[in-house]
């Protein structure tokens, strides 16, 4: 059988003969035939990415893979290249349901190419503050926008028979002590803000799996809360699917099973297996409870069979031209034009341009942690601009934006002159003569995470050697750096240059399990080849231990380097170039080092020297376009100086091309901010309640998350939720409300493109209670629709909302949703601030309700 359905759009993938399950797979019969030991084994992973098979009963293994912005496959180390989508906040910025569904289609195709049945995404936690290390993975600060896009994303996956896994259920909204912290949340905030995205996504798409959060909720780990997993998820919402833990996010045997956690990941098991068998035999877990968990696993396996992906399928590259075009489309549609005074954008591609800044010549295409992957390609902004420019393109670095030195892998060549460097793995250290390599690979990614590495004959303590040739283009001083989870030494031309073996210092590398980057400087000559060698030992060779961190496999190795620059001289050179070039564009921002799983940001600032660079370049050339790449808000102390600011996020494979499409006007920007950008960190609602203190974090802002807080407190943000400009102009008019008999309210208005360019506008619908029985946010997003319009054209925009749900709040005393009788203002606009079309609708009677 082919790996995909007969009507699969995926040509050229090798034939695979084995079907996942046969047509006689009967869950209830299998439950009767399974032994206690086999049942226990099914409830934990076989390895990092697969469920456990039971060959005796022809129960196969199912493959899971990260998500959420691309399919990595089954390897961190030496992974098969993949399509990388823009980050979650970028997708959120599109406000585009159809696009989210098409994203699901692409991810499903990528999953099939990687032999995966289950995608570990989307991430739909709420960005309650701007510092969350994984904030870039989620869609929005608003639950309706998050849940709606997630629902259509899951629909797209499931329309092609791939199982989606919304995560992390629930309140996994920070990285600090993420496995131990208790999120202290009121029942109302839990329902109205944090559970609501999951509720909406399940109502729209009924995804086949849900992943639990790492953290505790009001004192108890989410993976052990029966009220979440049984009472709400399965009982109240009627959802039928599999609940899996986050990786190493299972904390007990009996409690987790009884709470409703079906699958412990990854394997081999820590909590199930013999421990679970013993719990059943000693009557700590009832057989009926065990069977419920087994039933969910078997049902998932049965559902996975519809994909046509066989067990243990090979992993292959897809990388179709139409996918490249789609990735470019998504990235361009996500870009938000924050400012464009005097219409300095778009630029002219037949006119000389100066490109400046730390993010210009690096491909900042995704955030860090489990969302990162090995992209098919990653286009830098400089490459994108150069590809479309028809005149000279000049460059000045201005400043560096890295946290660790840039990876060296892509500028190295092997000893036989291939791109990249060679990695060999051994069971013996480098002091052993004539040791034999277990495996040899050529890589270009010098951030090597051996978390799930396995090769025949590998011992528990093992070693690796990396080798490559570096030939600098310029003479000068060069900085090199080495960070490890394990131990390592870096040699240049066989001379020991950096040692990271003894007296190691804890750092943020490798999800917080590794060291700081140890650095050294050396003078190199242009055109001369230098032999770079690294000798590495796995994490068991290190004495560095960090309390509260997870043991992510064998450890890792990261080495980087670049030409040393003096900040003042580099800024001066950039200022000089900007002052002599009328078209100047400056690329700045963060990266997957600054925004990463495992570590929250300490502040909202751009990297050192960046603000100074931007401010001084703007002084020299006020028409400079500032393009910021980040997954969450950054401070912009120079914003009042800038005439044009573009928020470009982490744009995936086609980052540079998409940015160039927008700044040169090939694409009219239509993105809208899915989260509020505050002027400073102290303005955000979580300022006094972020990070773990005493093992807990208080969600003190309650339901006043994001724009709800700024409006209630009358704190002016830098840029409000829903904001985004265009190269054309739009007018809304003729608001009409049409109540229907089934609580549906149809909302219509006219949208007129009053400018001279084709474009798209997002019509945003907010509902504001006029005299609520309890204190409520000023207004809340309850619907949206995107309207493409040619220049000068006018069209009707129509959408509908469920009036009962749109007017409801969580009544804590009743333990139910309440739509209170009274008047509500319906506000239709193009941002959470600005002009609105307004009308009043009356809810005739108070309604209490539960469920989806």
DSSP secondary structure string for all residues of 374-407? -BS----HHHHHHHH-SS-EEEE------SSPPB
Q: Running DSSP on this structure, what letter comes out for residue 51?
A: B
Instruction: Tell me the average pLDDT across 108-134.
Output: 97
Is the pLDDT score of 89 beyond 50?
yes
Superfamily grouping for domain 730-849? Immunoglobulins (2.60.40.10)
Q: Compare 551 and 648 and report the one with higher pLDDT.
A: 648
Residue 530 corresponds to which tokens in the numbers above? Answer: 């230098």
Helix (H) or strand (E) holding 338: strand 336-340
User: Where residue 744 falls among pLDDT bands split at 50, 70, 90?
Assistant: very high
Question: What CA–CA distance (Å, rounded) separates 553 from 539?
Answer: 8
Answer whether 600's CB lies under 8 Å from 512's CB. no
* Angle, alpha carbons 25-30-35 (nearest 5°): 150
3-class state of residue 331 by DSSP: helix
CB neighbourhood size of 809 (10 A): 21
Is the pLDDT score of 2 beyond 50?
no
Question: What CA–CA distance (Å, rounded) separates 362 from 378?
Answer: 9
Question: What CA–CA distance (Å, rounded) separates 233 from 761?
Answer: 35
Predicted pLDDT of residue 690: 94
Q: Do domains 401-564 and 730-849 have the same CATH topology?
A: no
Is the pLDDT score of 296 beyond 50?
yes
Active site residue 246: yes
Answer whether 534's CB lies under 8 Å from 620's CB. no
Q: What percent of the chain has pLDDT over 90?
A: 93
User: Where residue 563 falls among pLDDT bands split at 50, 70, 90?
Assistant: very high
Question: What CA–CA distance (Å, rounded) separates 232 from 258?
Answer: 15
Predicted pLDDT of residue 221: 98
Instruction: Tell me the average pLDDT across 102-115.
Output: 98
Question: What CA–CA distance (Å, rounded) separates 474 from 526?
Answer: 4
Q: What is the CA radius of gyration of the chain?
A: 27
The most distant pair of C-alpha atoms in the chain lies apart, rounded to whole Å, by: 86
pLDDT digits (tens, 9 = 90+) for 470-519: 999 999 999 999 999 999 999 999 999 999 999 999 998 888 889 999 99
Residue of 96, 161, 246, 479 with catalytic role: 246
* Angle, alpha carbons 45-119-92 (nearest 5°): 140
DSSP secondary structure string for all residues of 65-118? E--SSS---S-STTPPPB--PPPHHHHHHH--HHHHHHHHHHHHHHHHHTT-SE
Predicted pLDDT of residue 403: 92
SS (H, E, C) 750-768: EEEECCCCCEEEEEEEEEE
pLDDT digits (tens, 9 = 90+) for 634-656: 999 999 999 999 999 999 999 99
User: Which strands sit side by side in the sheet containing 808-811, from one edge to the other?
Assistant: 808-811, 816-819, 847-849
User: Where residue 9 falls among pLDDT bands split at 50, 70, 90?
Assistant: very low
Q: How far is CA 791 from the centre of its chain?
A: 35
Predicted pLDDT of residue 547: 65
Domain boundaries, the chain: 401-564, 730-849
Question: Residue holding tokens 């560096």?
Answer: 400
Helix (H) or strand (E) holding 828: strand 822-829
Residue 724 corresponds to which tokens in the numbers above? Answer: 């985004």
Instruction: Tell me the average pLDDT across 605-617.
Output: 98
Compute the CA torsion angle 659, 661, 664, 667 (nearest 10 deg). Answer: -120
Is the pLDDT score of 15 beyond 50?
no
Is the pLDDT score of 589 beyond 70?
yes
User: Where residue 741 falls among pLDDT bands split at 50, 70, 90?
Assistant: confident
Predicted pLDDT of residue 4: 30
Predicted pLDDT of residue 274: 97
Is the pLDDT score of 77 beyond 90?
no
Q: Compare 9 and 440 and report the one with higher pLDDT.
A: 440
Q: Running DSSP on this structure, what letter comes out for residue 54?
A: B
One of 3.20.20.140, 3.40.30.10, 1.10.101.10, 2.60.120.260 is the CATH number of 401-564, namely 2.60.120.260
Instruction: Tell me the average pLDDT across 795-807.
Output: 97
User: Where residue 549 falls among pLDDT bands split at 50, 70, 90?
Assistant: low
Instruction: Tell me the average pLDDT across 88-108.
Output: 98
Instruction: Tell me the average pLDDT across 304-313.
Output: 96
Name the H helices within 610-740: 610-620, 655-663, 707-713
pLDDT digits (tens, 9 = 90+) for 367-399: 998 888 899 999 999 999 999 999 999 999 999
Is the pLDDT score of 46 beyond 90?
yes
Q: Please write down the long-range contacts of 254-259, taking CB distance under 8 Å and 24 or more positions apart.
A: 254/279, 254/284, 254/285, 255/224, 256/223, 256/224, 257/43, 257/285, 257/289, 257/290, 257/293, 258/226, 258/285, 258/289, 259/223, 259/224, 259/225, 259/226, 259/228, 259/229, 259/230
Instruction: Tell me the average pLDDT across 624-636.
Output: 98
Least confident of 15-24, 30-39, 713-722, 834-843: 15-24
CB neighbourhood size of 459 (10 A): 12
């Amino acid at each position: 059988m082919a790996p995909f359905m007969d009507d699969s759009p995926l040509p050229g993938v090798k034939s695979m003969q084995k079907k996942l399950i046969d047509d006689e797979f009967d869950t209830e019969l299998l439950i009767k035939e399974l032994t206690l030991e086999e049942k226990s084994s099914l409830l934990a992973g076989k390895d990092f990415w697969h469920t456990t098979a039971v060959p005796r009963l022809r129960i196969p293994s199912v493959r899971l893979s990260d998500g959420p912005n691309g399919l990595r496959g089954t390897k961190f180390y030496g992974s098969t290249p993949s399509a990388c989508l823009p980050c979650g906040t970028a997708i959120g910025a599109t406000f585009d349901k159809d696009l989210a569904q098409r994203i699901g289609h692409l991810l499903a195709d990528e999953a099939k190419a990687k032999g995966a049945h289950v995608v570990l995404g989307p991430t739909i936690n709420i960005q309650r503050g701007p510092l969350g290390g994984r904030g870039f993975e989620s869609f929005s600060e608003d639950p309706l926008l998050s849940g709606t896009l997630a629902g259509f994303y899951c629909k797209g996956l499931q329309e092609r028979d791939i199982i989606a896994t919304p995560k992390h259920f629930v309140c996994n909204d920070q990285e600090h002590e993420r496995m131990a912290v208790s999120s202290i949340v009121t029942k109302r905030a839990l329902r109205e803000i944090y559970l609501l995205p999951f509720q909406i996504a399940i109502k729209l798409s009924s995804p086949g799996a849900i992943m639990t959060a790492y953290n505790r909720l009001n004192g108890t780990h989410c993976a052990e809360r029966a009220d979440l997993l049984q009472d709400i998820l399965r009982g109240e919402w009627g959802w039928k699917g599999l609940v899996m833990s986050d990786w190493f996010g299972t904390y007990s045997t009996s409690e987790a099973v009884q709470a409703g956690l079906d699958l412990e990941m990854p394997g081999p098991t820590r909590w199930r297996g013999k421990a679970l068998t013993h719990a059943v035999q000693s009557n700590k877990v009832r057989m009926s409870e065990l069977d419920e968990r087994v039933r969910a696993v078997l049902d998932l396996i049965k559902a996975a069979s519809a994909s046509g992906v066989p067990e243990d399928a090979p992993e292959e590259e897809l990388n179709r031209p139409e996918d490249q075009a789609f990735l470019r489309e998504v990235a361009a549609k996500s870009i938000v034009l924050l400012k464009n005074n005097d219409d300095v954008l778009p630029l002219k591609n037949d006119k000389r341009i100066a490109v400046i800044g730390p993010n210009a010549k690096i491909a900042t295409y995704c955030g860090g942690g489990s969302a990162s992957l090995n992209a098919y390609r990653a286009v830098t902004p400089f490459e994108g601009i150069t590809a479309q420019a028809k005149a000279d393109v000049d460059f000045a670095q201005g400043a560096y934006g890295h946290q660790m030195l840039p990876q060296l892998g892509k500028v190295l060549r092997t000893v036989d002159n291939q791109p990249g460097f060679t990695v060999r793995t051994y069971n013996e250290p480098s002091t052993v003569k004539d040791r034999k390599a277990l495996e040899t690979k050529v890589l270009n990614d010098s951030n090597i995470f051996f978390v799930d590495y396995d090769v025949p004959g590998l011992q528990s303590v093992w070693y690796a050697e990396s080798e490559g040739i570096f030939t600098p283009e310029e003479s000068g001083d060069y900085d090199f750096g080495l960070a490890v989870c394990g131990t390592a030494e870096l040699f240049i031309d066989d001379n020991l240059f950096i040692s990271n073996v003894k007296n190691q210092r804890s750092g943020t590398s490798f999800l917080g399990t590794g060291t700081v980057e140890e650095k050294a400087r050396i003078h190199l000559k242009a055109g001369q080849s230098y032999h770079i060698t690294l000798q590495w030992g796995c994490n068991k060779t290190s004495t560095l231990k960090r309390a509260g961190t997870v043991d992510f496999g064998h450890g890792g190795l990261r080495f980087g380097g670049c030409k040393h620059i003096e900040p003042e001289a580099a800024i001066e050179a950039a200022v000089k170039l900007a002052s002599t070039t009328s078209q100047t564009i400056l690329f700045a921002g963060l990266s997957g080092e600054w925004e990463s799983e495992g570590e929250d940001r300490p502040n909202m600032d751009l990297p050192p020297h960046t603000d100074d660079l931007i401010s001084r370049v703007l002084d020299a050339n006020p028409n400079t376009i500032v393009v910021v790449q980040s997954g969450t808000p950054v401070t912009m102390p120079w914003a009042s100086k800038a005439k044009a600011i573009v928020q470009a996020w982490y744009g995936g494979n086609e980052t540079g091309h998409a940015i160039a499409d927008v700044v040169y006007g090939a694409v009219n920007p239509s993105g809208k901010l899915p989260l509020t950008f505050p002027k400073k960190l102290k303005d955000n609602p979580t300022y006094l309640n972020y990070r773990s203190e005493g093992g807990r974090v208080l969600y003190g802002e309650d339901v006043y998350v994001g724009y709800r807080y700024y409006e209630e407190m009358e704190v002016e943000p830098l840029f409000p939720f829903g904001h985004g400009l265009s190269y054309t102009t739009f007018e809304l008019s003729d608001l009409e409300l049409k109540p229907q008999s089934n609580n549906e309210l149809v909302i219509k208005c006219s949208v007129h493109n009053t400018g001279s360019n084709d474009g798209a506008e997002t019509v945003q619908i907010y509902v504001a209670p006029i005299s609520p029985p309890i204190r409520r946010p000023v207004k809340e997003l309850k619907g949206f629709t995107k309207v493409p319009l040619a220049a000068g054209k006018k069209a009707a925009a129509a959408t509908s909302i469920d009036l009962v749900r749109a007017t409801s709040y969580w009544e804590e005393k009743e333990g139910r949703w309440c739509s209170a009788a009274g008047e509500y203002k319906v506000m239709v606009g193009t941002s959470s601030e600005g002009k609105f079309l307004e009308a009043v609708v009356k809810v005739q009677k108070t309604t209490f309700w539960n469920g989806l």
